[in-house]
Amino acid sequence: MDPIPLSTLLSDNPRFVSSNDHLGLEIEAQYWSHVETFPDGRALTTELVNEVKDLLTFAYADTATSLTSTTPYKLEELDRINTILSAVRVGENNVAGVWAVARYMSTFKREMFLHYHGEYGVRLNRTESVHEEKIHNERTYTFLCITPLFFYVPNVFVHRFEEVSVDDIINAGPWNAFRQQMRDGWEATTTPITVLLSANVALLAIGSIDHSGSIQPNRSVAQIACYSSTILSLTCYFICWILLRRHREDSMTTAGEAVKFISQCRNSVWGVEGAALMYSLPEALFTWSMLSFLAAVVYMCMVQSDTTTRVITGVLLGLMTLIVLAVLCAGWGTVEPSTKTLWQRNQEIVGKAVKSTSKAVDTMLRQLSPSEKVTHGDSIV
């Protein structure tokens, strides 16, 4: 037998190998890939079918009891696999059965290799890294400064991007769930944004607000706010339409397509953070559109109205503001931030700057003070 370099064996999966047993999992996966390609003339034994069923049982239990399972299949797919294995015949002249068993064995063995099955530091959850202490990278200053304008929605997208691609491993199930959540969010925005657009047009149709469409040298705050809300609503609708067209239900559904997509995002000029900002635009624009419309209504009720209207509107506005702030405060501290905030980052930098400045001043004072004592004879001056 000729020796095979390790780099050749791991050309498709360049991972750190911790032991011979760990390497054996990749060799088994490659062997079953070979059997999958050439299934003719092979016998299917009862022991082999039972081994596949045992692996399927582990996958069933892990997927059913864990939200971060490392299993490459969803429960529905495991049900179909179980149905196929139930129809597999043991013995020779069973090309279809050999091919099916080889396909599943290759997949399971490769996943066991990627997750360091049976090794120290095995990956027990999909959101854990076996190479890094944490999966969430520190955010850039540009991103931290922009996210408040997006109401911190991009943080959620970046967080999910990093969770579905830990150690560059992507399972089709979690990826499709994340992609469907993005689509549902965009689709859920299109309906209220059209309602808000109609509300802006209706508000502008009031003669006292838009002066019956006559040309005026100066526009009121309510008019400008309505115009701004209308523009934001239209932009939000167009962006939702573009994103839904780009991410159709039948696009990027496989793990290979997901890896290619996330690699493109990481290698772009703005990286994953830029993609998160783009995908957060519909929610951010919708929120700003609502605030603009609210400003128009508040101005109309508080300025262009009588005292009774101002009092009632002011009381209701104050109560609703308190309720919204209470809801925000109630859910603000429920999730621990995975990365440092802009305030924490600034505190850290200022602390390091103060320490370095103090150290430099201390070194300078030591250099200015006499470092040697001058002697004259036996006396010391």
How far apart CA 203 and CA 144 sit, in angstroms, is 36
* H or E element, residue 376: strand 375-376
How far apart CA 157 and CA 155 sit, in angstroms, is 5
Query: Residue 114, exposed/middle/buried by CB under 10 A (0-12, 13-18, 19+)?
Result: buried
Nearest partner of 104 among 76, 87, 122, 84, judged by Cα: 84
- Phi, psi at residue 172, to the nearest 5°? -65, -35
Under a CB-based contact definition with an 8 Å cutoff, are residues 238 and 289 in contact?
no
How far apart CA 289 and CA 280 sit, in angstroms, is 14
Residue count of the chain? 381
How far apart CA 24 and CA 9 sit, in angstroms, is 10
pTM: 0.75
Residue by residue, pLDDT tens for the chain (381 residues) are: 566 666 566 656 667 787 888 888 888 998 999 999 999 888 888 999 999 999 999 999 999 898 888 888 888 889 999 999 988 888 877 888 999 999 999 999 999 998 988 888 888 888 888 887 777 778 888 888 898 899 888 988 898 888 888 888 888 888 888 899 999 999 999 999 999 999 888 888 875 555 555 555 667 788 889 999 999 999 999 999 999 998 888 888 888 888 888 888 888 888 889 999 999 999 999 999 999 999 988 888 888 778 888 888 889 989 998 998 888 787 665 545 555 555 555 556 556 656 666 776 677 777 776 544 444 444 433
Under a CB-based contact definition with an 8 Å cutoff, are residues 39 and 100 in contact?
no
Under a CB-based contact definition with an 8 Å cutoff, are residues 130 and 17 in contact?
no
- Farthest CA pair distance, the chain: 108
How far apart CA 200 and CA 291 sit, in angstroms, is 12
